[in-house]
Amino acid sequence: MTIEQVAVIGAGSMGHQIAMLSALAGLQTNVQDMSLDSLDEAKTKLTKIMDKWVRKQKITAEARDDAFGRLMFTTDLREAASDADFVIEAVVEKLEVKRKVFTELDEVAPKHAVFATNSSTIVSSLIADATSRPGKVCNMHFFFPPLVMDCVEVVKGDHTSDETIQLAMNVCDQMNRTAILLQKEISGFVANRILFAIQKEAMALYEEGYADFKDIDKITRKALGHPIGPFELMDLSGIDVGYYVMQQRYAESGDPNDQPSRTLIEKVEAGEFGRKTGKGFYTYSHKVNN
């Protein structure tokens, strides 16, 4: 099957950039979000990013304009997905929300359409049975920020057909992203399981008073050669995102060690999500538009 029409559901920090990758790849792309404000913000962010790319000569002004010409923004799920060959879900990291979205998509999208969830930790087998097409459901995990990071974890569940996986790999190739196939499911996949282990240890060292979070970041950068420290990364990707991911892992495992830490809970309750709110572990002079 040839992929010509893509729908991206959710215009947040991941969704709007995935949509632009799709449009830059020459695919007609519909972006859907329930919030008109979120769609307007997505357009503003993408305009700033693409204008910057033109100034840096990463793309031509013509290529930028052509990509925006292939993007359509809507609050209507049916309008977004009714002609889609491939749907990428990028809504909040909550299982019940994703299942609801997939059920609704199943009713409005063509029978041949493939559904991919961009979840950073939730395996698609927990979502696929919300549809009548489990064989056409898979994980397709882009990394933040998608317009910068050249990696996508494509995960095959027992329910997922080989054809679906091949189509997902092909879409990654069209988007000029390196797809890595995981042959079976595991919560958190590969990258985030490694990342969470680092962040969990860093948080324990901080909460137990062994070192300040700024010094832990500095050690991680200077001694281990990481480009960014674990607390800096939490601020960049969104403290609220990590919090929801840990809640989901705890719901699946029942292991108290998988629960969000005391500090993460305090940050989320205070609305300190990192760069996007202007304050997380660090304080920023303004909200950062990714």
From the list 16, 112, 141, 286, the catalytic residue is 141
Give the per-residue SS3 of the chain.
Answer: CCCCEEEEECCCCCHHHHHHHHHHCCCEEEEECCCHHHHHHHHHHHHHHHHHHHHCCCCCHHHHHHHHHCEEEECCHHHHHCCCCEEEECCCCCHHHHHHHHHHHHHHCCCCCEEEECCCCCCHHHCHHHCCCHHHEEEEEECCCCCCCCCEEEECCCCCCHHHHHHHHHHHHHCCCCEEEECCCCCCCCHHHHHHHHHHHHHHHHHCCCCCHHHHHHHHHHHHCCCCCHHHHHHHHCHHHHHHHHHHHHHHHCCHHHCCCHHHHHHHHCCCCEHHHCECCCECCCCCCC
141 is catalytic: yes
Q: Which residues are catalytic?
A: 141
